[in-house]
């Protein structure tokens, strides 16, 4: 869509409000709304002002003025607003220089796609994330100076087989057995279908929806792959729709990686391939039908994975998912089928167009603009420097002898460890000024002070179970 077409659509659909959205630094959508009649064509060039100092990880108070610049092709009619509202995703600019703001995550993603083209390696990077999530019926949590707790509940939860529900009809999903029984055990089928159809109404291309492995409301809706920036936009629409459809039905959805103990966490397995002149550069005659470039891309991902995790798995909770078992991709290796390897080569289709690699470490708590950009930069670094990934890990990881298993590198065990790796290894992200030193330093500072240190300072409820009687 062009700006002229947007204004025509507003008149045709009798739109009353325009919602302008952008991504904050850690990864949440922010917005403000203007009357539809105030949107004019010049706004798509000149933008609208707002206070950037109130956005997490952005401007200081003495340089707070920023511009949002709507991107016409991202427009969609919001299905959840009471009054007809057109929503657009925006880029962020400095009001004095009119330059794109370096800490705007969407700008980082755009720069990564542009840098890829300048290398001559590829002209398109396709991404297809598999976003998992939980839908709960109740969530309560609190933390203060003298208490802290959380409580989750789901009508599907295996822990509710004995609850008096007047009547309890059974059909609770056993732990790790949510993939994929039919209703009535799958109590959220209709809800996920409504999410899927709403996504289609908002312009997303959806392939399937299904229950996921865990009990207690774990689900997945798969989108068709798209170029990097467009897919990051789509991820935000996806999360917005999932959360709001759940809320519409009196339920709550979360992309928190590990909300339940002793069951599978929720990841965001990222399928990706590089193309040039309509040709899939990852299709070849090597291992699992991959090309040399694909193997080098895997080499880049594996080399930089300990640092990448600081961006693709950016919460302290992320590392409660990245533990052995639960199909977690803790091993920094590649395989055509082994799901405990951090990189898998899907073998569903032998067609050259479908050839891709699947990076299984990321989760849905990440900022998709930064995560996809970082993944692309690691792959490009691998291709440029012809980084070989070593031998594949095609054995069952649980059958390996301890000595053999010890030789397989592991993903970081904590956010703190991942941030330390990012501090040591981020030169590949600075190529083409895609990420800047300021962005990396701010990310490490924010995550350390606001999350790692904040969690470290607070007693954990289980510590009372372990230590209170000491």
Active-site residue flag, 220: yes
Q: Residue 232: which H helix or E strand, with range?
A: helix 228-248
What are phi and psi for residue 283, nearest 5 degrees?
Answer: -85, 135
Structure tokens at 46: 């000149």
CA 291 – CA 404 distance, rounded (Å)? 28
DSSP structural state of residue 174: P
CA 103 – CA 57 distance, rounded (Å)? 8
Active-site residue flag, 51: yes
Active-site residue flag, 37: no
Active-site residue flag, 130: yes
> Which of 186, 358, 363, 416 is labelled catalytic?
358
> Which of 156, 212, 233, 381 is labelled catalytic?
212
Which SS3 state, helix, strand or coil, does residue 317 take?
coil
Alpha helices in 276-413 (DSSP H): 292-312, 318-321, 368-384, 402-405
Identify which of 371, 428, 336 has the alpha carbon closest to the alpha carbon of residue 129. 371
> Which of 137, 156, 186, 220 is labelled catalytic?
220
Bridge-based pairing of strands 17-23 and 85-93 is parallel
DSSP structural state of residue 332: E
Length of the chain: 470
CA 384 – CA 456 distance, rounded (Å)? 39
> Which of 21, 78, 104, 130 is labelled catalytic?
130
Q: Is 83 exposed, middle or buried (0-12, 13-18, 19+ CB in 10 A)?
A: exposed
> Which of 11, 56, 339, 460 is labelled catalytic?
339
> Which of 271, 360, 363, 416 is labelled catalytic?
360
* CA pseudo-torsion sign 63, 64, 65, 70: positive
User: Would you call the peptide bond into 296 cis, given omega within 30 degrees of 0 as the criterion?
Assistant: no
> Which of 269, 304, 321, 356 is labelled catalytic?
269
> Which of 45, 51, 83, 404 is labelled catalytic?
51
Active-site residue flag, 360: yes
Identify which of 409, 219, 214 has the alpha carbon closest to the alpha carbon of residue 331. 409
Residue recorded with tokens 């370096």: 102
CB of 236 within 8 A of CB of 129?
no
Active-site residue flag, 394: no
Residues annotated as catalytic are 51, 130, 132, 212, 220, 269, 339, 358, 360
């Amino acid at each position: 869509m062009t700006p002229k077409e947007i204004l025509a659509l507003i008149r045709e659909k009798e739109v009353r409000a325009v919602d302008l959205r952008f991504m904050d630094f850690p990864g949440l959508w922010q917005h403000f709304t203007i009357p539809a009649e105030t949107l004019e064509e010049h706004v798509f060039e000149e933008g609208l002002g707002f206070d950037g100092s109130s956005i997490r990880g952005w401007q200081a108070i003495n340089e707070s003025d920023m511009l949002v610049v709507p991107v016409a092709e991202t427009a969609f009619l919001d299905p959840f607003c009471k009054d007809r509202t057109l929503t657009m995703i925006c880029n962020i600019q400095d009001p004095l220089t009119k330059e794109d703001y370096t800490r705007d995550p969407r700008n980082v993603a755009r720069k990564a796609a542009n840098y890829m083209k300048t290398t001559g390696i590829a002209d398109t990077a396709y991404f297809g994330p598999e976003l998992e999530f939980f839908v709960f019926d109740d969530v309560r949590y609190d933390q203060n100076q003298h208490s802290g707790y959380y409580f989750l509940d789901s009508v599907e939860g295996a822990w509710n087989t004995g609850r008096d529900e007047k009547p309890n009809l059974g059909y609770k999903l056993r732990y790790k057995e949510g993939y994929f029984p039919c209703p009535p055990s799958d109590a959220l089928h209709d809800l996920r279908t409504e999410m899927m159809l709403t996504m289609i109404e908002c312009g997303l291309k959806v392939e399937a929806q299904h229950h996921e492995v865990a009990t207690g409301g774990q689900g997945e809706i798969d989108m068709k792959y798209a170029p990097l920036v467009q897919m990051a936009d789509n991820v935000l629409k996806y999360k917005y729709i999932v959360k709001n459809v759940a809320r519409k039905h009196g339920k709550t959805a979360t992309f928190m990686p590990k909300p339940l103990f002793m069951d599978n966490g929720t990841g965001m397995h990222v399928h990706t391939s590089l193309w040039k002149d309509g040709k899939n550069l990852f299709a070849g005659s090597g291992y699992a039908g991959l090309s040399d470039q694909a193997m080098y891309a895997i080499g880049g991902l594996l080399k930089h994975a300990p640092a990448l995790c600081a961006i693709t798995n950016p919460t302290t909770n992320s590392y409660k998912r990245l533990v052995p078992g639960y199909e977690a991709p803790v091993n920094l290796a590649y395989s055509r089928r082994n799901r405990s390897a951090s990189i898998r080569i899907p073998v569903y289709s032998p067609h050259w167009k479908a050839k891709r690699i699947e990076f299984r470490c990321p989760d849905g708590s990440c900022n998709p603009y930064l995560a996809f950009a970082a993944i692309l930069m690691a792959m490009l670094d691998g291709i440029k420097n012809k980084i070989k990934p070593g031998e594949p890990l095609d054995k069952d990881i649980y059958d390996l002898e301890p000595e053999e298993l010890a030789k397989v590198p592991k993903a970081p065990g904590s956010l703190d460890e991942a941030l330390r790796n990012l501090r040591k290894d981020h030169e590949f992200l600075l190529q083409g000024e895609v990420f800047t030193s300021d962005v990396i330093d701010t990310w490490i500072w924010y995550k350390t002070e606001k999350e790692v240190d904040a969690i470290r300072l607070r007693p954990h409820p289980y510590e009372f179970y372990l230590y209170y009687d000491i």
